Amino acid sequence: MFKTSPLSPAPSQERTPRIRFTELCAGYPGRPVLHQLDGEIPALATTALVGPNGSGKSTLLGVLAGVIHPTSGELHHEGDRPPAFVPQRGAAGDALPLTVRQTVEMGRWGERGLWRRLTRQDRATVDTAMERLGITDLATRQLGELSGGQRQRALIAQGLAQGSDLLLLDEPTTGLDPEARERIATLLTELVSDGVTVVQATHDLEAARSANTCLLLRDGRLAGQGSPEQLLTASTLTQIWQPA
């Protein structure tokens, strides 16, 4: 059985938390998933949520995004701006006749409303988000006819276009080629310099290693929180990924 004690020290204590959670429990009707989590998401840093399939990464991200409500415990956000959440499958279904640009523009709806015209500033924000994800030349393509990696970049651009100070990404590099993965890694670091707190659930160990801090989940429990160097050691990875 995996022991939590060697992994407990949290160097993120030095950073101001953007989110704190205490004895947090959450899940789905009839299925508790997260059990008594105590931890924090440091502000102005990148945090990677790592752990095996089904360990609760997406569920925790959903709780941080406010789309899944805790069943008990406390969750406290410092700051009052709504997070930008990029789930594994975006809200825009493949079947919807949306272009890439329209998809990214949806990121402005939260502030502008569904029926109001986008302002010049909104359009500039959308342009910048598309440029940063390298999808400007895909602007007029239908979302449903993109490759998985192109579609993924369009959905990340949509999240970026929301202009939040908290960006929550579920498996942002899944399906991306090495160049696109590198682009996302660089982008996330730049976003932190721009004043954004970034959290990503990931299976991509390279992405996790480039984060400032990691939360390690196993079976819906927090198995550790700390820097990648501290947490993602060969022995920890073996312990975490071995069958319970």
Q: Which residues bind ligand ATP (CB under 6 A)?
A: 28, 31, 33, 51, 53-59, 201
Question: Which of 135, 167 has the CB closer to ligand ATP?
Answer: 167
Give the residue among 105, 83, 81 at the shortest CA–CA distance from 92.
105
Q: Which CB atom, from 55 or from 200, has the smaller least distance to ligand ATP?
A: 55
Cα Rg of the chain, angstroms? 18
Helix (H, G, I), strand (E, B) or coil at 188: helix
- Nearest one of 19, 129, 25 to 80, comparing CA atoms: 19
- Inter-residue contact 232 to 205 (CB < 8 Å): yes
Q: Report the residue number, 53 or 193, with the smaller CB distance to ligand ATP.
A: 53
Least Å distance, CB 11 to ligand ATP, is 23
How far, in Å, CA of 75 to CA of 203, rounded? Answer: 25
How wide is the angle at C-alpha 178 spanned by C-alphas 182 and 227, nearest 5°? 50
Q: Is 183 exposed, middle or buried (0-12, 13-18, 19+ CB in 10 A)?
A: middle
Nearer to ligand ATP, 52 or 110 (CB): 52
Q: Are 102 and 123 in contact (CB under 8 A)?
A: no
